Chain A
């Protein structure tokens, strides 16, 4: 006699054991002696795939359709053979990007899109809710059946119990408590829930053993082996059909669509993603799991048909009304096997609770990180970005979500669950999960897949799924008018949910899979081809697709170009994860990089990136980005910068691919290497040359200064005019030295891009006039005539005013230097074309030999002059001038014939003429 109290006691005791295992697992994880870090536990945790649906439902389905239950397990077997390539890549990506859920994964791939992540979270919740309620239903059914032991009473025969008497409610609440306790201990969701995984693995073992026990009992206890059982069943006409393919409703099309669905489900159901990707300890575990897991499926399915047929033989449908879904439980009951019955009950309980716990954790992470947080962060009134401690809020949201999800599942079970067979609900969820497949699979192999494409594909696929599967289900339960199912929406035949656009001949699942996948994949590819990706999208796409190639986050680190301090960053991370954990994370970073983090020092891009990833682990990629950008001053890298990095990255990749190819042809590779080596040496030589030239140029004035200073010191009796002359030289050479140092620094700053450019709209005429005024003294001294020719209308450019003046002054004083006194003529002119402004500085000096003309803008290049012993100047003026002009998007060159003067010209892009400007201002 199994009394209520006994059943409850056993049930709760079992949950207690699970608590114990989970607690032990967490303790060991804290001590860094993980018990789950081996491929066997990993495999068993993936077996959370086998839910109550497998445990009870498979037999039910087998009893109706023969081998019809098998595609659900053959699909994952086929998929597992691809894991080494597919799952490993996903895990690698998830690890480097600190992915916390499947919603986070998709959001991250498509430019850390909060919108996409949110959509996935919504689809997941809507799609998985029925599945959770299915598990609650299974627990409830098995409990009710067991309650009436040894009588075989089906649940629908017992009167519906009141809410507060409903054990299922308490089961739901207990599961919520369990999930909260072991699923939301820490904030960082990427920190694996080791205790939970250990408990899940244990449950997988229990359900397998329980099912095998029943199977062996039926096959060898009630019958004398499988041959006996099958032969006896074959004698019954209605059972004989189960042994051929006839029993399979929907035929081969159904079979194929179920295989496909389950292939997708094993990868993309949120709970499978949770155990296989997020909770994965070591990607090498895939190696064993890829064949051990299919083996687990094979073993657990071995006795499904014997139990189904045995059940049929024991309870002929005309004498008993026993639901085949309960055969696993009712067969041992009918034989009065108390112990076995209880064991089976525990097995079913394991299968159901395992699924509920993992699915709820996965959903709560998703809802919290990808749905609630992005919204909260955007509500300015909450000022979440300024709050001191957000970690408790995060935990609160997750715990709340767990309770809400379970209660929703319970509600669904109370309201709708009764009208559905176990198997239908499960497949509806599978079809929802399959919607994620295109965005993920295309996303990790095709860089072109864009956010818009993913949005379009996912949302439309989801809508089609809801219309062809979910809503008709509601209608059948009486929740919606059934008209639209039978006549089509608004009575339009083509819109019949089970025969969309007149497609008939498929069962509802295959039909829904066909249409939803068609629009999903079609829109994803189609929209992607015709939409542009933003910079961050391209970066993320490259990281996902090239996950095995980019071994570090070098490139990504460069995305942040702003500045912030280490303590600001630490404070930010601390607000979400607690100060202690933030300190620990940063210390780990410092240790790994071998750097000393100075609290007040500025954070390098690598650290900013690290902080973003740590935060992503807690609140999802999209929100993390918002938070980090709130402390990092200065904006993220410009589009051009990003494109340049991408360009470089792809160039480098292309180059290394080519190299790889060529390395097979030894000779070619050697030549290439030699060339590369030569280039390197050349670069080295050039750098050396520059340093040597600078030092030479500095030493020259120093030599004069030192020599004359020593002369003056050692010779106090020098005549006064000599003293004066020498002192004059010392002063001049000192000035020259100063000028040289300034220019070297200036040049270095411009080249290293450390110069702040104050770009504004300026009139180039004004600039030239200012420059002319500045050099007039010099021209007077040298007795060189200077003329300027400027147009009557303003010539507007976007430029750094002072730098442009510097350019013109450089050219003018250069011209003055080379002109003969008295005879010298210099003219500066400005010509405005359609979109270009041209400035020319013409002199009648000695001119430049044509072979020198192209080198004249090089650093320290000086044209040796015939008349004068040595040209004046530092040899840097024109180099700086060229850099400035080029920075403004212009170009500079010289036209000259020896003996006939030179003409220096530069072009700048014109912003707009004054007239156009006036016109546009009228429009405002």
Chain B
């Protein structure tokens, strides 16, 4: 989530405008260079983070079965 926020910030005004001048670096426009390099970096970081994600982390334990038995409960009511 945080990573996406960084991405949105980096790829929009005003950060983007810093590189929007049209100047060339090593014969390549700075704007292109910035966008593609940031893009590649973003993919790398996202890849590392997601590959490390544990599949079980988001899952809470399954429902306990005791409370699903209504007959048992009603018998006391």
Bound complex: CA A81 to CA B1 (Å)? 8
Nearest CB of A to B18, in Å: 10
Cβ 8 A contact of A84, one of B22, B53, B60, B61:
B53
A67 in contact with B50 (CB, 8 Å)? no
Interface-lining segment among A443-451, A464-472, A644-652: A644-652
Bound complex: CA A653 to CA B51 (Å)? 29
Bound complex: CA A226 to CA B64 (Å)? 62
Nearest CB of B to A744, in Å: 13
- A260 nearest CB neighbor, chain B only: B8
B14-25 contact mask (Cβ, 8 Å, vs A): 1 or 0 = 001100111010
A230 in contact with B50 (CB, 8 Å)? no
A678-705 contact mask (Cβ, 8 Å, vs B): 1 or 0 = 0000000000000000000000000000
B29 in contact with A656 (CB, 8 Å)? no
A77 in contact with B22 (CB, 8 Å)? no
A243 in contact with B29 (CB, 8 Å)? yes
A550-B63 CB under 8 A given contacts A67-B32, A230-B28, A290-B50: yes
A291 in contact with B27 (CB, 8 Å)? no
B67 in contact with A652 (CB, 8 Å)? yes
B17 in contact with A230 (CB, 8 Å)? no
A78 in contact with B31 (CB, 8 Å)? no
Interface-lining segment among A25-33, A520-528, A551-559, A848-856: A551-559
Nearest CB of B to A855, in Å: 15
Q: List CB contacts (< 8 Å) of A613-627 with chain B.
A: none
- A284 nearest CB neighbor, chain B only: B55
Cβ 8 A contact of A85, one of B39, B46, B58:
B58
B24 in contact with A291 (CB, 8 Å)? no
Bound complex: CA A230 to CA B31 (Å)? 12
Bound complex: CA A231 to CA B24 (Å)? 8
- B38 nearest CB neighbor, chain A only: A74
Bound complex: CA A244 to CA B24 (Å)? 10
Cβ 8 A contact of A751, one of B44, B63, B75:
B75
Cβ 8 A contact of B68, one of A80, A291, A294, A648:
A648
Bound complex: CA A555 to CA B20 (Å)? 56
B12 in contact with A255 (CB, 8 Å)? yes
Nearest CB of A to B15, in Å: 11
Cβ 8 A contact of A287, one of B21, B24, B53:
B53
B43-67 contact mask (Cβ, 8 Å, vs A): 1 or 0 = 1101101110101001111111101
A551 in contact with B62 (CB, 8 Å)? yes
Contacts of B1 in A (CB 8 A): 82, 85
Cβ of A459 under 8 Å from chain B? no
A41-72 contact mask (Cβ, 8 Å, vs B): 1 or 0 = 00000000000000000000000001100100
B46 in contact with A291 (CB, 8 Å)? yes
Bound complex: CA A226 to CA B25 (Å)? 12
Contacts of B26 in A (CB 8 A): 227
Nearest CB of B to A548, in Å: 5
Contacts of B16 in A (CB 8 A): 245, 252, 255
A651-B31 CB under 8 A given contacts A82-B4, A84-B50, A230-B24: no
A290 in contact with B47 (CB, 8 Å)? yes
A525-557 contact mask (Cβ, 8 Å, vs B): 1 or 0 = 000000000000000000000001111101100
Nearest CB of A to B33, in Å: 10
- B14 nearest CB neighbor, chain A only: A252
A252-B13 CB under 8 A given contacts A80-B46, A548-B59: yes
A218-233 contact mask (Cβ, 8 Å, vs B): 1 or 0 = 0000000011101100
B50 in contact with A549 (CB, 8 Å)? no
Contacts of B22 in A (CB 8 A): 234, 240-241, 243-244, 246
Contacts of B61 in A (CB 8 A): 656, 660
A648-B58 CB under 8 A given contacts A74-B11, A81-B3, A291-B50: no
Bound complex: CA A648 to CA B68 (Å)? 8
Bound complex: CA A291 to CA B63 (Å)? 34
Nearest CB of B to A694, in Å: 14
- A549 nearest CB neighbor, chain B only: B60
Bound complex: CA A592 to CA B27 (Å)? 64
Bound complex: CA A644 to CA B64 (Å)? 17
Bound complex: CA A291 to CA B40 (Å)? 10
Contacts of A886 in B (CB 8 A): 77
Bound complex: CA A753 to CA B75 (Å)? 9
Nearest CB of A to B64, in Å: 6
Most buried by A among B13, B32, B65: B32
Cβ 8 A contact of A245, one of B8, B17, B40, B55:
B17
**16 additional contacts (CB under 8 A) given A77-B43, A81-B4:** A77-B42, A78-B4, A81-B3, A81-B42, A82-B4, A226-B27, A230-B27, A245-B31, A255-B12, A255-B16, A286-B50, A287-B51, A291-B47, A302-B36, A551-B59, A555-B68
Instruction: Pick 25 A–B contacts, CB within 8 A, sort by A.
Output: A66-B31, A67-B31, A70-B35, A81-B50, A227-B28, A231-B27, A240-B22, A243-B31, A243-B32, A245-B31, A255-B13, A288-B51, A291-B43, A291-B46, A292-B47, A294-B42, A294-B43, A294-B46, A549-B63, A551-B59, A551-B63, A554-B63, A648-B70, A660-B61, A751-B75
The 4 closest A-B pairs by CB, nearest first: A227-B27, A244-B22, A291-B47, A245-B20
Chain A residues packing against B (C-beta within 8 Å): 66-67, 70, 74, 77-85, 88, 226-228, 230-231, 234, 240-241, 243-246, 252, 255-256, 259, 284, 286-288, 290-292, 294-295, 298, 302, 305, 548-552, 554-555, 644, 648-649, 651-653, 656-657, 660, 751-753, 886
